[in-house]
Amino acid sequence: MKLTRWLVVLLVLIGSTSSFAAQTWTILVYGHADHNLSYSLMQDMLEMEQVGSSEGFNIVVQADYDGEKNPSYKGSFRYLIQKGDPKLEALVVGKKAYNEVPVPSSTPIEKSEELDLDKTENFKAFLKWGINKYPAQRYGLVLWDHGGQWSGGFGGDTQDGTAHGPGMKIAEIGKIINEVRNELTLGKFDFITFDTCLLGGMELLPDMVKHTDTYIANAEIDFGAGWDYNGALGWLKNNPDATMRNFSIEEVKTYQAHHNKGEADKILKAHAAFDLTKYPHYQNSALSFFDAVANAVTIGGASELLLIQKARGETTKYSINSPAKAKDDTNYIDIGEFAVRLKNETANTNVKQSADQLTAAINDMIIAKDLGTLRQNNGAFGLSIYYPQKGLDVDYTNYQQYNLLAFITETVNGLANKWSEILVAVGNAQKTDSAPTITGVATRANTNQVNIADNNLAALRISVLSKTFGLDKQAVFADNKVTLPLVEVTDNNGETNYFKVILTSNTQGSFNVEISEVADFISGLTISSTFDLNKLTLSIPIVVANGVSYQVELKYQPESNTVTLLDAQPAQLITYLNEVSYTKITSSGNYPVQWNGEFPVLKGANGTNLSISGFRAEPNGNILIGTALYLGPDTDDIKLVMLQVDTSTNKVIQILDGETPEGIAPKGIEVKEKGLLLPLYYAEIRTNKPADQWLLTTLIGDVDPLVIPKEGLSGLSLINVKVAGSFVLEAIAEDTFGNTSTPKLFEVSQP
């Protein structure tokens, strides 16, 4: 009897001890940083080293850096992150060489030849290696890099600065995770996160729900800091048995603290953790909402579409476009906020009810989120969807690719996803929609007004521009010569070179060619001409001859070393000096076109200033987006950047990398004391061709650069400076489809 009792007690003790044993973890980090984020990955690894691996808790990193300037970082590396202090090392960060910067002290446990981390086989190899080498009861997966929602995907490997890869689509990533789980008989990951930009989107959830119940991502650009790995992983290490709901709450808390310094984060961030066990209800609600909207369009026709477009125009937009597209709308909006706004616009009962159901389902699925003040004030939820302003054209590649997404092919209880159908209806309406008409006269000196007519107006943009700025630095025809200040030639190896070229006319009516010295691509206000090596054509964007400007295309004859004229048409160089206003309008009528003569100017160190030639991101918005060139101290590497300025507080929100490849969201860059900013002015070369075929370019300001103060970004402030002289005011009306009126120009003088 006693023996039996002791056996029972012993079994209870054994069971009790087992139940209190901490669960083991392996965190797999796919550190894809072979580009401009190399040192950012190192900084995040330093955060991981504050936590470190230990028995039962492994932080495993695959790291690929841009080894172009740092030969010791060529190749690909695998680490088991160890707790420790950073080591100091000579390193080139960006283009600047430092004698000592902190770098991770963990020793690579494996090193291989240079790998392309855009290739799915390398992602798969890392997952299998990490799981086999460091088996655990629970797994977390972090995909670290650039992100661009469904179209841009994840990644972009430069192969040590030699090329830029296309990245991996999210469907490809989901497929690889599925293969690994099947081959290793592995359950779902406890969490999956993209420590990137823009991957908090509806389109991505179907590929992730199969592999995790907890998904963490950003609907907006991540403005530089990413995860707080010390805070989030440190908490998880101390609480290995935690539910993923509690972990998600803590991760969002640490993210919030980590992103509460920069102005961009304070205003614009959108980071959320999703409970994908709630996905089926959310999915059914989403498809029901799309079905109700599609049916409303069928019943209501054009009038209902206009309400949908109006709701879209009011909704939070995610992702800043490239500098060349600063005036364009973005392709991603907040789906929850859109549903709320459409509910308030439409009279359709089914749309109203399904909008309520969808927003409730999204809120139920979001465990925790961290939104910037602008996002909060607008009523954003933190989940994006693809909704280009002009909809989808069935003849375009994007339509074909979008319809292949699991998101679009989903069917629940016989209910198909009709979102693509809605976007096509928008696209068809946009193509048949007439652009706004705009007429106007000067009513008295410097007071003008325009009359705008349209049935779905959205905004009126008024800008100050110049019709002569930069013309004196362009190609000039004189004395039977065309002097091209700058010609851009890209050879078959992708190498770009710049030349000065003189074309001298001969008696046969063609031109002799003389190539002079190689020119620096930074050449004042010059617009680069381009030479196509395959077609042997020379395109000259703007040529001034006898006071008249032309756009010219020439054909090179190699056998005679001459060129002949293919085409010449009148052209006008329009340079935008400043945007006066970008205001919401909803009805036809008369609107004033006025300007107080002030330009927005950034104040720098040593009395230097920088005029901002930019555009507001949204009608009636305070965020001004401008372009500039940044030259860091002690370097000759000039970088194209985008400025985000809050005109309500006169603060610079952020300076973004303007050289990020198309489709990938840009990251913020840190400007240094004594660095220089040179103004860039957006310009159009207008011809008789349709507006979408005009050449868009930027011209470098012919002024002294702004000097960055010792406080860096926070030391810059915005002021308004009144400037006397003669200028041109341009008024352009936009409708909800993005169609624009013919520009209306007014000559004005400021005393």
* CA atoms within a 13 Å half-sphere pointing along the CA-CB vector of 504: 6
Q: How far is 113 from 74, CA to CA, in rounded Å?
A: 8
In this predicted structure, what is the pLDDT of residue 264?
A: 86
Q: pLDDT higher for 442 or 292?
A: 292
Token digits of residue 242: 């935690």
Whole-number Cα distances in Å, 561 to 389, 537, 564: 48, 13, 10
State which fold the 23-259 domain adopts: Rossmann fold (3.40.50)
How do the domains of the chain map onto residue ranges? Answer: 23-259, 281-366+377-432, 437-466+573-750, 471-572
**Helix (H) / strand (E) containing 644:** strand 638-646
56-95: per-residue pLDDT in tens? 999 999 999 999 989 999 999 999 999 999 999 999 887 6
Q: How far is 156 from 37, CA to CA, in rounded Å?
A: 11
In this predicted structure, what is the pLDDT of residue 446?
A: 58
Edge-first strand listing for the sheet containing 384-386: 317-318, 332-334, 384-386
User: Does residue 9 carry a pLDDT above 50?
Assistant: no
Query: Would the pTM of this model clear 0.85, i.e. be above it?
Result: yes
393-432: per-residue pLDDT in tens? 988 888 999 999 999 998 998 999 999 999 999 999 999 9
Q: How far is 249 from 502, CA to CA, in rounded Å?
A: 65
Token digits of residue 447: 């007071």
| Polymer length of the chain | 751
Give 398-403 contacts, CB < 8 A, sequence gap 24+. Answer: 398/151, 399/424, 401/151, 402/150
Token digits of residue 235: 């908490």
Q: How far is 130 from 426, CA to CA, in rounded Å?
A: 46
User: Does residue 1 carry a pLDDT above 60?
Assistant: no
Q: What is the CA radius of gyration of the chain?
A: 29
User: Does residue 18 carry a pLDDT above 60?
Assistant: no
User: Does residue 521 carry a pLDDT above 70?
Assistant: no
558-593: per-residue pLDDT in tens? 888 889 889 999 999 999 999 999 999 999 999 999
Hey, how many other C-beta atoms are within 10 angstroms of the C-beta on 696?
13
User: Does residue 125 carry a pLDDT above 70?
Assistant: yes
In this predicted structure, what is the pLDDT of residue 489?
A: 85
Edge-first strand listing for the sheet containing 447-453: 437-444, 447-453, 589-593
Residue 5 pLDDT class (50, 70, 90 cuts): very low
Residue 472 pLDDT class (50, 70, 90 cuts): confident
**Helix (H) / strand (E) containing 19:** helix 2-19
543: left (phi over 0), alpha (psi -120 to 50) or beta: beta
621-661: per-residue pLDDT in tens? 999 999 999 998 877 778 899 999 999 999 999 999 888 77
In the chain, the percentage of residues whose pLDDT exceeds 90 is 71
User: Does residue 7 carry a pLDDT above 60?
Assistant: no
- Strand, helix or coil at 61? strand
